[in-house]
Amino acid sequence: MSTAVAGTEINEVLEQLGIKEENQGASTGSHWFNTRGEKIGSYSPVDGSLIANVNMATSTEYEASILKAQEAFKEWRLVPAPKRGEIVRQLGEKLREYKEPLGKLVSYEMGKSYQEGLGEVQEMIDICDFAVGLSRQLNGSTLHSERPAHRMYDQYHPLGIVGIISAFNFPVAVWAWNTALAWICGDVCIWKPSEKVPLTAIACQKITAQVFKANNIPEGVSSLIIGDAEIGKLMSNDKRVPLVSATGSTRMGKSVAESVAKRLGKSLLELGGNNAIILAPSADLKMVLPATVFGAVGTAGQRCTSTRRLIIHESIYDNVKEILTNAYKQIKIGNPLDENNHMGPLIDKDAAEMYKAAIEKVKASGGKMLVEGDILTGEGYESGCYVSPSIAEVENHWEIVQHETFAPLLYLIKYSGEVSNAIDIQNAVDQGLSSAIFTNNIRESELFLSQAGSDCGIANVNIGTSGAEIGGAFGGEKDTGGGRESGSDAWKIYMRRQTNTINYSTELPLAQGIKFDF
């Protein structure tokens, strides 16, 4: 990797995180391969600067990482789970030390606000804390056997290698969600981050290596592969990787799922969202405003949980429209490292062009632009990645509304009659990640959360769609993939289940009363 001029401050951040020229595109811990793969540039959407060039890994480095991971798994799985939890605890402490520079790098390389960058690192710390407690609770069940003097129970064992394919919008948190749980379960991990944000991944690997080296942990427990879609395909088709956790678009997820299913592996998919907030007549608009604006423009609309659709009862529709339109005039757009700005850039110029094309498609479909966004130019916007947000009046069944636009494009949809009509509108898309309702009517809130309510993996009352707590399982249904990460019992996906029966008698009763005359 070779660094380029990207400002004194970011160079200091890279130095703090130990990112120097000797870093390459593949690592099995503290060992970095001398890769010969193609170089890719990490360009900041903040100012268009080239932060660094990184050598991508080749299939040879991938193979070496797999072999090293297999070797490490044999040792790591024998370490008691609470001892594995202690290693994760130390990682959480180390992340606390590096929270500020890592959060700043997340902000600069990806484009989200500095506050959100710090928040993402805090998510890493939180999942480490969660995993530490969980390392003493990997419980099975004791079951009653129908045979006398027999004991039956089930237990969980580690799978082996967990492959992690992460997206650009959460360049570090999603990796931590997977690794913290996989490690305490006894698995080893190989991570292929988005090639758009390689430096944050290298930083995480460097931080992890410090903890692992201090505790003599085998190198292959944590591996990093910087690469393009070909590395992802190798991982998805590799029988030696029993679980592939993939975060990204529905199109990408379907490809991963197909490849993994063909070899009867397991996949954990966190894919697209088309998230809606329902505003019932009794909604508290003072709460609605910050939830909607943050949900729609936070991370420039590049969260999988971003608010895409606002389904509003006709009795409050005009009022909500006016309030939101006025609020959007106050949104400050600019350098995400400036805490006075509400919204930073999209990830790259292609994303900005796709956003502009989506706006044109909305208008061509008959949509009315209440606030029409555009690509911003001029001083401070030289990268070509900054856009202004949009609000459009639409119909839910339009094709453009049915698809996720990964940008700050908010749709207003009017409903009449009972809240069940709004729920039907919300559910009438292929995605099923996050959903919310604002109401002070307990019957409406309970219906929303019932079997006849939201069909999403996340359903909130009087809180927005964006974001989630570590303690709850995160994920969605339908084209969102069905995966669950983070809290609750999400740890079980990283383990294999085994049923055990012990006969402590001197007899051998056979099933169904079968007897042999021996």
Domain count, the chain: 2
Rounded distance between C-alpha atoms, residue 246 and residue 68, angstroms: 22
Task: Using pLDDT thresholds of 50, 70 and 90, give the confidence band for residue 454.
Answer: very high
pLDDT confidence of residue 30: 83
Containing 385, the helix (H) or strand (E) segment is: none
pLDDT confidence of residue 6: 42
CATH code for position 447? 3.40.309.10
Q: Residue 7: left (phi > 0), alpha (psi -120 to 50), or beta?
A: left
Residue 182 has pLDDT above 70, yes or no: yes
Please tell me whether residues 204 and 93 are part of one structural domain. Answer: yes
Please tell me whether residues 192 and 312 are part of one structural domain. Answer: no
**Strands 275-279 and 434-438, sheet pairing:** parallel
Cβ–Cβ < 8 Å for 474, 468: yes
Average pLDDT over residues 210-224: 97
Say which of 128, 189, 204, 304 is annotated catalytic. Answer: 304
Q: Which residues, in sequence order, are bridge partners of residue 477?
A: 432
Residue 285 has pLDDT above 80, yes or no: yes
Cβ–Cβ < 8 Å for 72, 221: yes
Half-sphere exposure of 54 (CA within 13 A, CB side): 31
Q: Which residues, in sequence order, are bridge partners of residue 474?
A: 485
Contacts of 139 (CB under 8 A, 6+ apart): none
CATH code for position 81? 3.40.605.10
Residue 513 has pLDDT above 80, yes or no: no
Is 433 a domain residue? yes
Is 306 a domain residue? yes
Residue 77 has pLDDT above 90, yes or no: yes
Rounded distance between C-alpha atoms, residue 225 and residue 219, angstroms: 14
Rounded distance between C-alpha atoms, residue 266 and residue 257, angstroms: 8
Is 327 a domain residue? yes
Please tell me whether residues 389 and 408 are part of one structural domain. Answer: yes
Is 176 a domain residue? yes
Please tell me whether residues 143 and 288 are part of one structural domain. Answer: no
Asked about 109 being catalytic, the answer comes back as no
Rounded distance between C-alpha atoms, residue 387 and residue 335, angstroms: 12
Q: How large is the angle between the packed helices 198-214 and 99-110, nearest 10 degrees?
A: 160
- Alpha helices by DSSP H, 387-471: 399-402, 419-427, 442-449
User: DSSP string of 67-132?
Assistant: HHHHHHHHHHTTS-HHHHHHHHHHHHHHHHHTHHHHHHHHHHHH---HHHHHHHHHHHHHHHHHHH
User: Each residue of 424-436: pLDDT tens digit?
Assistant: 999 999 999 999 9
Contacts of 90 (CB under 8 A, 6+ apart): 211, 214, 215
Return the structure tokens found at 291. Answer: 């939830």
Is 13 a domain residue? no
With vertex at residue 51, the alpha carbon angle to CA 48 and CA 55, rounded to the nearest 5 degrees, is 125
Cβ–Cβ < 8 Å for 308, 409: yes
Please tell me whether residues 155 and 181 are part of one structural domain. Answer: yes
With vertex at residue 265, the alpha carbon angle to CA 260 and CA 271, rounded to the nearest 5 degrees, is 50
Task: Using pLDDT thresholds of 50, 70 and 90, give the confidence band for residue 5.
Answer: very low
Please tell me whether residues 259 and 309 are part of one structural domain. Answer: no
Residue 127 has pLDDT above 60, yes or no: yes
Is 123 a domain residue? yes
User: Each residue of 327-385: pLDDT tens digit?
Assistant: 999 999 999 999 999 999 999 999 999 999 999 999 999 999 999 999 999 999 999 99
Rounded distance between C-alpha atoms, residue 54 and residue 205, angstroms: 14
The widest CA-to-CA distance across the chain, in whole angstroms, is 92
Please tell me whether residues 374 and 466 are part of one structural domain. Answer: yes
Asked about 189 being catalytic, the answer comes back as no
Task: Using pLDDT thresholds of 50, 70 and 90, give the confidence band for residue 304.
Answer: very high
Lowest mean pLDDT among 199-203, 313-317, 510-514: 510-514
- Alpha helices by DSSP H, 298-385: 317-328, 349-365
CA dist 413 to 304, 308, 316, 396, Å?
20, 11, 12, 7
Q: Which residues, in sequence order, are bridge partners of residue 500?
A: 153
pLDDT confidence of residue 468: 84
| Strands ordered across the beta sheet of 188-192 | 26-27, 222-225, 188-192, 161-165, 243-247, 266-270
User: Each residue of 222-271: pLDDT tens digit?
Assistant: 999 999 999 999 999 999 999 999 999 999 999 999 999 999 999 999 99
Average pLDDT over residues 32-42: 87
Task: Using pLDDT thresholds of 50, 70 and 90, give the confidence band for residue 22.
Answer: low
pLDDT confidence of residue 36: 77
Residue 4 has pLDDT above 50, yes or no: no
Is 425 a domain residue? yes
User: Each residue of 459-505: pLDDT tens digit?
Assistant: 999 999 997 899 999 999 999 999 999 999 999 999 999 999 999 99
Residue 37 has pLDDT above 90, yes or no: no
Domain range enclosing 314: 275-470
Say which of 219, 270, 444, 485 is annotated catalytic. Answer: 270
Please tell me whether residues 259 and 170 are part of one structural domain. Answer: yes
Mean per-residue pLDDT over the chain, rounded: 95
Residue 24 has pLDDT above 90, yes or no: no
Return the structure tokens found at 475. Answer: 């994920």
Torsion angle defined by CA atoms of residues 224, 226, 228 and 232, in that order, rounded to the nearest 10 degrees: 0
Please tell me whether residues 388 and 416 are part of one structural domain. Answer: yes
Residue 139 has pLDDT above 50, yes or no: yes
Rounded distance between C-alpha atoms, residue 183 and residue 362, angstroms: 45
Please tell me whether residues 75 and 166 are part of one structural domain. Answer: yes
Cβ–Cβ < 8 Å for 12, 35: no
Please tell me whether residues 234 and 285 are part of one structural domain. Answer: no
497 three-class SS: strand
Percent of all residues in the chain with a pLDDT value above 90, rounded to a whole number: 92
Closest alpha carbon to 429 in 477, 475, 464, 465: 477
Is 184 a domain residue? yes
**Strands 266-270 and 243-247, sheet pairing:** parallel
Please tell me whether residues 284 and 419 are part of one structural domain. Answer: yes
Closest alpha carbon to 358 in 382, 341, 338, 374: 374
Residue 91 has pLDDT above 90, yes or no: yes
